[in-house]
Amino acid sequence: VTAPAITVTFLGTGSGVPSLHRNLACVALQRQGELFLFDCGEAAQIQFRRAGLGFAPLVGIAVSHMHGDHVTGLLGLLMSLQMADREEVLELYGPPGLADYVEQSRQALRTHFAYSIALQEQGCAAVLRETASYRLLAAPLDHRVFCLGFRMEEFPRPGRFDVAVARARGVPPGPLFGQLQRGEAVTLANGEVVRPDDVLGPLRPGAVIAYCTDTRPSAASIELARGADLLIHEGTFDAGMAHEARRKGHSTVADAARIARDAGARQLVITHISPRYQDVGPLLAQARAIFPETRIARDLMSVEVHHRESAEG
Amino acid sequence: VTAPAITVTFLGTGSGVPSLHRNLACVALQRQGELFLFDCGEAAQIQFRRAGLGFAPLVGIAVSHMHGDHVTGLLGLLMSLQMADREEVLELYGPPGLADYVEQSRQALRTHFAYSIALQEQGCAAVLRETASYRLLAAPLDHRVFCLGFRMEEFPRPGRFDVAVARARGVPPGPLFGQLQRGEAVTLANGEVVRPDDVLGPLRPGAVIAYCTDTRPSAASIELARGADLLIHEGTFDAGMAHEARRKGHSTVADAARIARDAGARQLVITHISPRYQDVGPLLAQARAIFPETRIARDLMSVEVHHRESAEG
């Protein structure tokens, strides 16, 4: 069993008003020692502790939009990072208005952050962060107020090293194997050159996660979720409440399932559940009728996403 | 067994950073169908639900000072009252800066309150609310930033109606008893006038609760707690950390006990416990050595305060 490429933990899965069973919007994404939060509703930092997560790996917090149920936990978390003597930069990504909110609240609450906050406001599609192995993207969704969806997208991984082919080409086991695996050409004792492409299989897909809330069903969600291993999409209402959902800038669980299907996502977790639903059985059935690989999020539920060996895998 | 005069429920009892066992500052006070909150730290509204409290009786929220661990739950609660279609006025009391914080946050979070908020900022000692039977007072404490303590003070209650005396004075049982109990003089058939004072015992004390956090030990706390049935006082640190406590504008548990003793309070509950203390046994022992009627607050702990029949009772 290999380690998961990415682990997603749902810290809050409710909408609007917290209930005894659903806290407000917050999702943690862990990838190779880095941790990101998507949205930061009230009590996010408490759920963060409850999930056993630590502050040290926290790299960034992505805020979808400036509605209270997605941001009222942000200041408390920033203050707790200060009290934990954080020294590393914290990245904050979100819509226009986020910087003013953070700064005004900081002043009103007479607090001070000794660590740096690298805050990006994005009013259109953008790459928020890019490393050698992944990028984090944002794109506008379709809500009552300006709202960003997010996509964490690993770059394709090198193909698998084919030991048999390498041996057949005359490469001796040892350091030359490592050079080839790292993508470097090697010259054999007989003067022959072996290139990585000769001994590596086809590129293997990286893991992809999309996070789309709050939004009406939208083409932007489909693009963000294209081929994703996991789509996290809001489904505030049941399938019978499409009109109400549209009016309020939201999706039904059936909308979420159609987005997952149309995007070719591998699995869907529906979150941002209205507090009106105690029993989510009917919601699940409605979504699975359209997209079978669906779950309804619960607070503190974790989903592990594993790397696939091929585009079909 | 008579009903309690006032029931106090501790919704959050921690300081600075929430832990798995202590949420941030919030105390609920229930009195004859009215509910008040003192401070409103993050997740106050969740603890409020957990305690089984309802929004309808909520009359007012008193904020002690503008540090995050005392106010980060306020906006979420105000928004949830809006989503619950509140129509009644909500009273908000607090230090200068509270109004700007609420209004700036409201704008940043694109929200709107259809109910009225009657907001009082007080920069000095003041009566916040007065009815026929009680008043709610505020007075400045001694913290790093301007901070208010609060006192809920019932007026003295009428003396007990002495049926034997009334009969001896010739008052016939029936409506005249009621008139005398309501404080009205009555004229008997023989023309004699009986006044309430003739048949009522001495005035009986009303219930008094004081709430003092965050503060160094201060004369203001003693005045607020004078003769209180219950003093709620911060004790952020253990008795050995007096220097650290002073420096940070706080009290030790021994300070809190001395305030209770010097004020002639009947019982003390110490709250605002630093997350450094897992075992509060030593804190309790330190305080009880000075003031035996001490408890250390726990989240969701309730304390019932009953009326006394006399000043000595």
* Residue in chain A lying closest to B48 (CA): A20
pLDDT of residue B300: 98
Annotated active-site positions of A, please?
Answer: 69
Q: Return the percentage of chain A with pLDDT > 70, whole number.
A: 99
- pLDDT band, very low/low/confident/very high, at B183 (cuts 50, 70, 90): confident
Taking the CA of residue B246 and the nearest CA in chain A, the distance in Å comes to: 18
Residue B311's pLDDT is 79
pLDDT above 70: residue B84? yes
**Cβ–Cβ gap A104/B104 under 8 Å:** yes
Contact B16 A83 (CB under 8 A): yes
Helices (H) and strands (E) counted in chain A, each on its own, are 11, 16
Residue A296 has pLDDT above 90, yes or no: yes
Mutation target to probe the A interface, by most A beta carbons within 10 A, among B46, B50, B69 is B46
pLDDT band per the 50, 70, 90 thresholds, residue A311: confident
Across B185-192, average pLDDT: 93
Q: Pick from A43, A80, A100: which is nearest to B17 by CB?
A: A80
Contact B80 A17 (CB under 8 A): yes
- Supply the pLDDT for residue B313: 61
Give the residues across from A211 on adjacent strands: A150, A232
B39 as an active site residue: the answer is: no
Sheet holding B58-62, edge to edge: B117-121, B90-94, B58-62, B34-38, B26-31, B6-12, B302-305
pLDDT attached to residue A181 = 87
**pLDDT value at residue B275:** 95
- SS3 state of residue B197: helix
Kindly give the pairing relationship between strand B58-62 and strand A302-305.
unpaired
Contact A109 B16 (CB under 8 A): no
Which chain B residues touch A103 with a CB distance below 8 Å?
A: none
> SS3 for A213?
coil
Burial class (CB in 10 A: 0-12, 13-18, 19+), B24: buried
Share of chain A above pLDDT 90, in %: 95
Q: Which of B69, B142, B214, B255 is catalytic?
A: B69
Task: Classify burial at A210, counting beta carbons within 10 Å of its beta carbon; exposed 0-12, middle 13-18, buried 19 or more.
Answer: buried
Classify residue B240 by its DSSP letter. Answer: G
CB contact under 8 A, B110 and A79: no
Where are the alpha helices (H) located in chain A, listed in sequence order?
Answer: 44-50, 68-71, 74-83, 98-108, 163-168, 175-181, 196-199, 219-224, 242-248, 253-263, 281-288
Edge-to-edge strands, sheet with B208-212? B126-130, B134-140, B148-154, B208-212, B230-234, B268-271, B294-296
Q: How far apart are CA B278 and CA B283, in angstroms?
A: 10
Residue A98 CA to residue B220 CA, distance in Å, equals 39
ipTM given for this complex: 0.90
Which of A7-21, B157-171, B278-292 is least confident?
Answer: B157-171
Helices and strands per DSSP (H, E), number in chain B:
11, 16
For an interface test with B, the pick among A11, A26, A64, A72 (most B C-beta atoms closer than 10 Å) comes out as A72
Q: Do B66 and A109 touch (CB under 8 A)?
A: yes
> Quick one: average pLDDT of A120-140?
98
**B129: which residues sit within 8 A by CB, 6+ positions away?**
B59, B60, B91, B93, B135, B136
Q: Tell me the pLDDT of chain A averaged across its residues.
A: 96
Count of A–B CB contacts within 8 Å? 108
Alpha-carbon gap, residue A260 to A28, rounded angstroms: 20
Query: For the residues of B24-79, what is the DSSP string, one character each?
Result: SSEEEEEETTEEEEE---TTHHHHHHHTT--STTEEEEE---S-HHHHTTHHHHHH
Of the pLDDT bands very low, low, confident and very high (cuts 50, 70, 90), residue A1 is low
Task: Give CA–CA dist B260/A182, Å, rounded.
Answer: 71
Query: Could you tell me which residues are beta bridge partners of residue A87?
Result: none
Rounded to an integer, what distance in angstroms lies between the CA atom of residue A206 and that of residue A187?
30
Q: In chain B, what residues touch A105 (CB-CB under 8 Å)?
A: 101, 104-105, 108
**How are beta strands B268-271 and A186-187 bridged, if at all?**
unpaired
How far A280 CA lies from chain B's nearest CA (Å)?
21
SS3 content of chain B, % helix, strand, coil (to 5): 25, 25, 45
- Express each pLDDT in A162-197 by its tens digit: 999 999 999 999 999 999 988 899 999 999 999 999
Residue with tokens 């350091």: A175
pTM: 0.92
Residues B236-252 have pLDDT tens digits of: 999 999 999 999 999 99
| pLDDT at residue A309, as a whole number | 87
What is the average per-residue pLDDT within A93-115? 97
Which residues in chain B have their CB less than 8 angstroms from residue A79's CB? 17, 68-69, 72
Query: Could you give the CA distance from residue B40 to residue B80 in angstroms, rounded to a whole number?
Result: 13
Q: Please give the pLDDT value at position B310.
A: 87
B111 contacts A67? CB cut-off 8 A: yes
The number of residues making up chain B comes to: 313
Residues A74-81: what's their mean pLDDT? 98
Mind listing the pLDDT tens digit for each residue in B112-123? 999 999 999 999
Among the partner residues A20, A80, A105, nearest to B105 by beta-carbon distance: A105
Q: Residue A22: pLDDT above 90?
A: yes
Task: Decide: helix, strand or coil at residue A154.
Answer: strand
CA A286 to chain centre: 24
What residues pair up with B139 in beta bridges, in sequence order? Answer: B149
CB atoms under 10 Å from CB of B193, counted, come to 9
Dist. CA B295–CA A206, nearest whole Å: 56
Residues 6 or more apart whose CB falls under 8 angstroms from that of A110 comprise B66, B67, B145
Chain A nearest C-alpha distance from B248 (Å): 13
Q: Which residues of chain B approach chain A closer than 8 Å at the C-beta? A: 16-20, 23-24, 42-43, 45-46, 49-50, 66-69, 71-73, 75-76, 79-80, 83-84, 97, 100-101, 104-105, 108-111, 145
Reply yes or no on whether the pLDDT at A313 is more than 70: no
Nearest CA among B136, B134, B138 for reference residue B126: B138
Three-class secondary structure assignment of A236-269? CECHHHHHHHHHHCCCEHHHHHHHHHHHCCCCEE
The pLDDT score that the predictor gives to residue B1 is 66
**Chain segment A238-289, per-residue pLDDT in tens:** 999 999 999 999 999 999 999 999 999 999 999 999 999 999 999 999 999 9
